[in-house]
Amino acid sequence: MEKFKVCIDYVVLQDEELNEQDRILVQRAKDATYNSYSPYSHFSVGAAVRIANGEVYSGSNQENAAFPSGLCAERCVLFYAHAQYPEEVVETIAIAARHSDGRFAEGPISPCGACRQVLAETEYRNKKPLRILLYGTRGTLVFENVESLLPFMFTDDDM
């Protein structure tokens, strides 16, 4: 038997340590939580992406009583950005969440497995790192690429 360990690199930044572009992106993700349709989980998630042409788009989770036919904020915004600008590279995504009492999550939330796979596919398709900003009131986790968030990700090269 061989035993291995996977280590990932990330930093934690406070709001004032984020550069202006990232602060704007995080704010757009936070704002998007107010467009969430989450009557079942009562957990509002927002995501915002910045694409290579400088445009910023946002999306929010959209639930449905017929679980799991709703869609997470991350996939909503990534699919929208690609549908509108299929040739543009998604450079950065920011994700934020609010509880039903209106408070933003203290600890950053992490994308679900399906969203991680879509992030991986987006990075693979673009052939450039996709930065990920996970916002929490205690700090924003910054990952420089999807592999840092999803070691052993499945890509087209695996088929």
Three-class SS of residue 140?
strand
Question: Are residues 150 and 115 in contact, defined by beta-carbon separation less than 8 angstroms?
Answer: no
Catalytic annotation, residues: 74
Amino acid, single-letter form, for residue 89? V
How far apart CA 39 and CA 1 sit, in angstroms, is: 48
For 25-83, strand residue ranges (E) read 44-51, 56-60
Tokens representing residue 45 in the block? 């998630």
The secondary structure of residue 136, as a DSSP letter, is: E
**C-alpha distances in Å from residue 49, one per residue of 18, 69, 115:** 16, 23, 14
